[in-house]
């Protein structure tokens, strides 16, 4: 059993970070830097992004993002998710974790890296009425959609399966607005009410749609090319992610909530993952070492 657990842990860490020990090179950079970063211990962002509910939130966010035809066109035309799905996943995780736990300079540099990728993602898509639109990943509307869906998913999943958020939902939305601004989102929502209004605005504007591309992407997200030993846990988390999505969006995605107690089952799976992975994350540990070094330097003062 110990050998199986060690193997499963290695596979999971490779899936999430690209490194079998959970410490890829970019985690080492979190320990460097000369300030506390945008958030810090006790912040809503540290609690939410340091929790295991992020695993379900990522699935939820990917599902919802497919409903905007511009975002779906960008994924369809430019993403290598079919050939290298784990590479795309680890790249997204790198940005999320770096902005959350690194110093401000490193967080800004990582956001610039993401922006450079966005610069070349452009093309056309067809809207719900048959109209042809140009898109680019840097379009204000698409940036806002991705940010809103991301924030809503991580907040919803942490509320279901995570610890209490310091300052509540409003604190998380307000803090993570900073991350949105770093990648070019204009006037991101800064409260849970504004977040809900922003999501509803896309729905009410008739922008969202379901088509063959959405169906294909949802099929892929439901059955990604993970190792066979990981699929039972993934299927439960997928079902939990679907259950956390409001019914109107589930219908658009062609998904149904399972009649089984998937919320409880997801909690059990996340608890098992926590036991396999152990204590705090390597990224949070690196950030705390940076903060300890800065505190020690400050107490010593100039020689």
Q: For residue 123, give the nearest of 61, 79, 62, 180 by alpha carbon.
A: 79
Tell me how far apart the 2 most distant CA atoms of the chain are, in Å: 70
Task: Tell me which of 114 and 88 has the higher pLDDT.
Answer: 114
Helix and strand element counts for the chain (H, E): 15, 2
> How many Å apart are CA 27 and CA 300, to the nearest integer?
27
pLDDT for position 79 = 64
Q: Give the model confidence (pLDDT) of 59-108 as tens digits.
A: 999 999 999 988 887 776 656 555 555 555 667 888 999 999 999 999 99
| Separation CA 125–CA 10 (nearest Å) | 40
SS3 73: helix
**Are the beta carbons of 238 and 221 closer than 8 angstroms?**
yes
Name the percent of the chain lying above pLDDT 90.
Answer: 57
Model confidence at 242, in pLDDT bands (50, 70, 90)?
Answer: very high
Give pLDDT, residue 298. 85
Higher pLDDT, 242 or 209: 242
* Spatial separation of the C-alpha atoms in residues 68 and 202, rounded to whole Å: 9
pLDDT single digits (tens) 201-220 = 999 998 899 988 899 989 99
- In tens, the pLDDT along 147-199 reads 999 999 999 999 999 999 999 999 999 999 999 999 999 999 999 999 999 99
The dihedral sign for the CA sequence 297, 111, 79, 242? positive
Q: Is the pLDDT of residue 27 over 90?
A: no
CA nearest to 54, candidates 176, 237, 214, 262: 237
**pTM more than 0.85:** yes
Running DSSP on this structure, what letter comes out for residue 229? G
How many CB atoms are closer than 10 A to CB 92?
A: 15
Give the closest residue to 154 by CA, choosing from 92, 211, 102: 92
Distance separating alpha carbons of residues 294 and 302, to the nearest angstrom: 13
Q: Which of 118-122, 188-192, 262-266 has the lowest mean pLDDT?
A: 118-122
């Amino acid at each position: 059993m110990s050998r199986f657990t060690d193997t499963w842990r290695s596979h999971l860490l490779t899936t999430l970070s690209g490194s079998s020990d959970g410490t890829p090179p970019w985690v080492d950079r979190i320990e460097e830097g000369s300030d506390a970063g945008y958030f810090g211990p006790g912040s809503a962002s540290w609690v939410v992004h340091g929790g295991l509910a992020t695993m379900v939130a990522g699935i939820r966010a990917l599902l919802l993002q497919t409903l905007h035809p511009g975002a779906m066109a960008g994924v369809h035309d430019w993403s290598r998710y079919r050939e290298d799905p784990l590479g795309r996943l680890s790249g997204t995780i790198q940005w999320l974790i770096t902005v959350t736990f690194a110093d401000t300079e490193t967080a800004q540099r990582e956001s610039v890296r993401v922006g450079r990728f966005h610069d070349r993602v452009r093309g056309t898509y067809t809207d719900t009425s048959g109209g042809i639109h140009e898109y680019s990943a840097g379009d204000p509307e698409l940036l806002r959609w991705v940010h809103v869906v991301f924030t809503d998913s991580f907040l919803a999943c942490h509320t279901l399966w995570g610890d209490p958020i310091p300052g509540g939902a409003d604190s998380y939305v307000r803090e993570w607005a900073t991350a949105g601004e770093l990648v070019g989102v204009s006037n991101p929502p800064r409260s849970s009410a504004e977040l809900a209004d922003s999501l509803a605005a896309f729905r009410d504007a008739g922008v969202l749609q379901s088509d063959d591309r959405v169906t294909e992407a949802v099929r892929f997200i439901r059955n990604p090319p993970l190792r066979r030993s990981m699929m039972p846990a993934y299927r439960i988390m997928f079902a939990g992610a679907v259950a956390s999505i409001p019914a109107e969006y589930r219908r658009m995605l062609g998904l149904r909530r399972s009649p089984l107690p998937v919320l409880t089952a997801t909690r059990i799976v996340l608890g098992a993952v926590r036991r396999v992975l152990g204590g705090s994350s390597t990224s949070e540990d690196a950030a705390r070492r940076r903060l300890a070094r800065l505190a020690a330097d400050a107490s010593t003062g100039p020689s």
